[in-house]
Amino acid sequence: MQTSSPAGLCDQPLKGLHHAAINTRNITESIRYYTDVLGLKEAFRLKRDDGTLSAVYLIITPGQYLELISMEPAGKKRFRFPKRLRSVFHKLSGYSEISHICLIAEDIQHAYNTILASGGPVDSGIERGRSQCLRFWTHDPNGARIEIMEITPESMQAQADKRFADSK
């Protein structure tokens, strides 16, 4: 049973939404849209083991990001449904441009144990991500992927938060 804090908020292991992640078919085009059209700033990039671009984090405000994930395989052209069939394919397959949401935990082990104790699904163990954060994965009853993340001082997220907070 959750108890209320003096501020009326639940005493829970999660403290906020860190980022939403969007799958992109053309990451260069997506970066241009979100930076040039919507005015977001690039915070940092993640690379695959082969050195190709894996994802770009765009900062909304310190602690809140939009993650653009490149769905372009290195050196390969992906099959793409004709535009007129894409919405039908998406409806039939459950495919979504949204990859996952990420929730922040102050204590990753506590969040992990809480989800396990409540009978929730845990899809991975706690691991260190490419950005040096700590994380694990779960999912909701509809199959939506949820990343639970603890921002460590050495993580790219913490470094970006500091850079952008200091620039204001």
Evaluate if pTM is beyond 0.75.
no
Residue 33: CA atoms inside 13 Å, Cβ hemisphere, count?
A: 9
Q: Which domains does the chain have, with CATH numbers?
A: 15-76+95-166 (3.10.180.10)
Strands (E), the chain: 14-24, 41-47, 53-61, 64-70, 98-105, 127-128, 134-139, 145-150
Contacts of 147 (CB under 8 A, 6+ apart): 21, 100, 101, 102, 103, 135, 136, 137
User: What confidence score (pLDDT) does residue 82 get?
Assistant: 53
Q: What pLDDT tens digit does each residue of the chain (168 aa) get?
A: 344 444 444 567 888 889 999 888 788 988 988 888 778 899 999 999 999 999 999 998 899 999 999 987 655 444 454 555 555 555 544 455 788 989 899 999 999 998 898 888 899 999 999 999 999 998 876 677 889 999 999 999 999 999 988 886
